Amino acid sequence: MPDHSLTESALARLEEIRAAAEASADKPAALGPDVDITRFSTVSEQDKIDSLKSLEKQTREAVLLSGFDTSEENRSASFFQLDRTPIYRAVEAAFDDAIEIMGTEEALALYGEELLEKYWWRAVDPGKDKYTALVALHQTEGYFIRVKAGRKVDQPIQACLLISESNVSQNVHNVIIVEDGAEAHVITGCNINAGVKEGLHAGISEFYVGKNAKLTFTMVHNWAEDFSVRPRTGVIVEDDGVYINNYVLLKPVKSIQAFPVAKLVGERSTAVFNSIVYGLKDSIIDLGSETQLIGAGSRSEAVARTVSKDNSVVYSRGRLVGHTNDCKAHLDCRGIVQSATSTQWAIPDLASVGAPGAELSHEAAISPIAAEEIYYLMTRGLPKDQAVSMITRGFVNIDIPGLPEPLRRQIDLAIEETSKEAM
């Protein structure tokens, strides 16, 4: 965007972001293994397409397992980014006056003043660590989604961020705005093409939920054994707003570290975090969430279900910080260990900051599947592996609406496979 199109304050804001990022360009993250980001080149430009049907069959099948339906049936809008290019975007006719969807660079060109003043790097600090700095200084697009005030979008909006090359870094900046009184469900799938081995995905996501608005956000990660993933997410929820976050990880990954932060600044605001995580092979997985309960009457719940096997290491973190006497929140973190060589950590973290009336609680447990539960089912005719699978399925049964049936079947299949060697 040309400098002459921005006011002095907007230009100053851009310089502030750049300076914060440059100061942190070599700053390691507080959590997770360090990644040498200098080893990766920037993802390539790709050609745009007129229809998702023109994607290769293998790609269509792969992204479906991340929740992205290329048929666009029962979807209100779609965004597809291949490497660094938003190759496809569309809004169904029934919702074309309710939804805006485009790449973030286009959005910044269209709404520069508004974005910079209200949203651009307001929920995530560009100087947090070298991964935020990487995106701030070398952004490779991302999606911008706005649901207009008062509009209730009853079919999911879908987005896919796909990487087709090895040894590259995809540095995306995503912004979702759900204006006052609006409602939406966004399903995002992050994926790689078959044959892609090593690489880095650095994803900055900023979500803004207006007054009496609701955003349900479902993220499905589908990576590879030598891939490193560093999402950084910030959420701001206003009066009577509701934010629901669903996260699913079913495939091995070299390492992933994410700790989204929701700030419940509004009165009677709500945040819910649900996660289903499988630690497989040599994966190092460090995931969690933080909720800052600031507005009077704010509420939060975080539910994590983790299963680990092989040599995986899984950290499940949860932080609740009460800043008002009138707030209530609960963490529910449970893990099943299915391998003598895997490691799990459950790390609840509660804090009351000048709020003696805050009600914060947690329940954390790590265990194998109880032998008596398996025996009970076996006495009723189920083979041992089926009994273990049934118990595991019930353990991770968190209802996530709007997922395509193939992905639901994939979740069931993952449960079956990871349960075979249990007990």
Q: For the segment 1-45, what is each residue's pLDDT rounded down to a tens digit?
A: 444 478 899 999 999 999 999 999 999 999 999 999 999 999 999
Q: What is the pLDDT of residue 423?
A: 41
Is 219 among the domain residues?
A: yes
Is 3 among the domain residues?
A: no
Tell me the average pLDDT of the chain. Answer: 91
For residue 415, pLDDT over 70 is answered with no
Q: Are residues 293 and 281 in the same domain?
A: yes
Other C-beta atoms lying within 10 Å of the C-beta of residue 263: 23
Q: Are residues 388 and 317 in the same domain?
A: no
Is 2 among the domain residues?
A: no
Q: Are residues 188 and 321 in the same domain?
A: yes
Q: How confident is the model at residue 317 (pLDDT cuts 50, 70, 90)?
A: very high
Q: What is the pLDDT of residue 403?
A: 63
For residue 420, pLDDT over 60 is answered with no
Provide CB contacts within 8 A for 72, sequence distance 6+: 52, 78, 90, 92, 158
User: What integer is the mean pLDDT of 110-137?
Assistant: 97
Number of domains in the chain: 2
> Which of 369, 384, 400 is at the close of a domain?
369
Task: Give residue-wise pLDDT tens across range 367-380.
Answer: 777 777 776 677 87
Task: Give residue-wise pLDDT tens across range 250-279.
Answer: 889 999 999 999 999 999 999 999 998 989
CA distance 56 to 275: 30
Is 192 among the domain residues?
A: yes
> Which of 327, 353, 369 is at the close of a domain?
369
For residue 419, pLDDT over 60 is answered with no
| Lowest-confidence pick of 93-97, 150-154, 245-249 | 245-249
Q: What is the pLDDT of residue 195?
A: 87
Task: Give residue-wise pLDDT tens across range 57-75.
Answer: 889 988 887 889 999 999 9
User: What integer is the mean pLDDT of 135-159?
Assistant: 97
Q: Are residues 358 and 241 in the same domain?
A: yes
Is 185 among the domain residues?
A: yes
Q: Are residues 144 and 274 in the same domain?
A: yes
Q: What is the pLDDT of residue 414?
A: 60
Is 169 among the domain residues?
A: yes
Q: How confident is the model at residue 396 (pLDDT cuts 50, 70, 90)?
A: low
Q: Are residues 378 and 402 in the same domain?
A: yes
For residue 407, pLDDT over 90 is answered with no
Q: What are phi and psi of 304, to 5 degrees?
A: -125, 135
Give the sheet arrangement for strand 270-279, strand by strand.
85-91, 77-82, 157-163, 183-192, 214-222, 242-249, 270-279, 298-308, 327-337, 359-367
Q: Are residues 236 and 169 in the same domain?
A: yes
Q: What is the pLDDT of residue 243?
A: 97
| Lowest-confidence pick of 109-123, 184-198, 365-379, 383-397 | 383-397
Q: Are residues 162 and 241 in the same domain?
A: yes
> Which of 347, 369, 391 is at the close of a domain?
369
Give the amino acid at 333: C
Q: How confident is the model at residue 384 (pLDDT cuts 50, 70, 90)?
A: confident
Is 209 among the domain residues?
A: yes
Q: Are residues 154 and 227 in the same domain?
A: yes
Give the amino acid at 129: D
Report which of residues 376 and 381 the model is more confident about. 381
Domain that holds residue 398: 370-423
Q: Are residues 309 and 378 in the same domain?
A: no
Q: What is the pLDDT of residue 377?
A: 73
For residue 296, pLDDT over 70 is answered with yes
Is 294 among the domain residues?
A: yes
- In terms of Cβ atoms closer than 10 Å to its own Cβ (0-12, 13-18, 19+), residue 323 is buried
Share of the chain above pLDDT 90, in %: 75
CA distance 182 to 149: 5
For residue 404, pLDDT over 80 is answered with no
Q: How confident is the model at residue 421 (pLDDT cuts 50, 70, 90)?
A: very low
Share of the chain above pLDDT 70, in %: 90
Q: Are residues 218 and 361 in the same domain?
A: yes
Q: Are residues 358 and 377 in the same domain?
A: no
